[in-house]
Structure 1
Amino acid sequence: MDSGIGYIETPKFPKYVWLDGGNAKQMVWDTSSLSSFSSCPRYYNFQNLLGYKSKIYSTATGFGSAVHDGYEQLDMARFMGRTKDQAVAEAIKLVLVEHGEDLQKSDDKARNLEAALRAIVWRAEEYWEDSIKIASMQDGTPALEQRFEVPISMQTQDDLRFSGRIDKVAELNNELYLVDTKTTKASLTDYYFNQFAPNNQIYAYLWAAKNILGLDVAGFIIDAVQTGANFCRFNRAVFKVPSSIIEEWYGDAVHKLSMAKIYAEQNYYPADFTACGNYGGCKYREICNESPDHRQKVVEELFDREVHESLRNDDNVIEFEPELEIEWIPEND
């Protein structure tokens, strides 16, 4: 299709800063923090600013990361011309080393180490001869795990930035698509795939790909695997997204960031109880159910605190470095 995808290189900025009044403010946003803020500002404050982390290991998060890493290794090996057996061996070794110890703790047979390894081996059997081809970067490397950090808006006059990681850029029928890998225990029906359109994460990455990386992407592909105690099932859905929808998402995102600025300056993050039951229930529900003067005890019992490194500063205010110019290379015709 072309000689490679262009890319950008960006400087590293502090993710959070202290304001003059002693309040924390986020400067580098991503889809996780934007989704948290959109869902419930109080949840966002607990999760992102105060750093409340559950003391209970999440098998869902650990399992998804393991399968994702294994699939990336399969893709990398296939791109580099390895045999299927070589690719599977490399992927299994990676998962065992990086995730084996944690996944062995899982009591969920659909999300333990055996299930993760099965998902990798069976995927190689299912998709080794794949109609979806991994795109290449201009330096010849595969377009896998492409990270970006770019200005999000001049309207807020706040030097806010947006960061992310695009799992894969692939070519299908002479068109470019972003590909996102998902693990689930749900059946891979239309009902499952419909949750990704509209979707904050997907639209954010399409915005970055179109408007920052200069890629003529047609849409996105959800590459999903359903895992059970003794089985895996695979399915995909292809979505084409008009540019007008991405432009609308961008306008909404900028508006939400302007609201986040107000909340940061006031150090006030209201709760939105309409989101309490989402995804099996909010992990901070027990905090909100307690009276404000007794909440600290609940926090100490159920959560550890892991403050982001950019907020661990002896000075009250973190000074910004001068704005650096961002250079990007458009794709070749």
Structure 2
Amino acid sequence: MKKIAVLTSGGDAPGMNAAIRAVVRACVYYNIVPYGVRRGYEGLIHSDIKKLSASSVGDIIHKGGTFLKTARSQEFMTKEGREKAAASLRSLGIEGLVVIGGDGSFRGAERLTEEGIATIGIPGTIDNDLAYTDFTIGFDTAVNTVLQAVTKIRDTSTSHEKTTIIEVMGRYCGDLALYAGIAGGAESIIIPEDPVSTQDVINRLNKGKERGKMHHIIMLAEGSGNASKLQEDLLREAGESSRITVLGFIQRGGDPTSADRILASRLGIEAVELLRREESGLAVGVRHSNVFSMPISEAMKQKKKLDQTLYNMAEILSV
């Protein structure tokens, strides 16, 4: 393989730049010409592709976001759009493509494989919602971003003896809320995988008050419901006044942690190694600290499961 391109698609995640850097530098190491596709599949359709070098990716390993930019593409969802995308690569003699993103990006990579383009998927999403891999690029940084916010919010929550609802991202995966909730000492963690009732939260509030604890942090995953509704329910059913903090896109930004930089580097190099071996249609990931790969089609079939041990631990610690 003489030429490989890399793109980022879907929501940005801290560590994407580190993954791009690893792909590019692995290509240079193996005398493969690297290319960067700007704005994901949309840029691929419109041939927004540029040649990169080792210096092109200098000083980006520590930066959040993606210097290649990212976008969503309605046109790519059509057969004609995918044919255009494949034609853009072929016109430059690019034989392989590394796609960094989440489930939608992986489905796009799988479709390009059907168009005859060798593709490898790297998991990049703060949601950690791809079941085949233990962790996705960006998740660790997002957890730490939430944790920093929780620490600050706890100070004022404690001072005012208030209940605070913190809503975090994650779509329909509760990992971000669970990990940040445990690390941040949240008294209640509400996730989509195991929904709890308002009464359950009220019971925990009352138990805390019985032992003299007058503040309460509720970590709410966005896929579990609406923070405003929970606030209204607590006031109506228990007379409990609460505050809401919705962290939003702050969770996607910031310098990636060392864990995300290392994970991104390992997966980026592995993607190039697979393409060099003329393998395609694979997703790379990490399981029990070991890098591995499997067919994207199989990776997408796997269902995310709740880490019951962690969840039980959160229950024990919330007393």
Higher helix share: 2
TM-score (norm 1): 0.23
TM-score (norm 2): 0.24
More RCO (CA 8 Å, sep 6+): 1
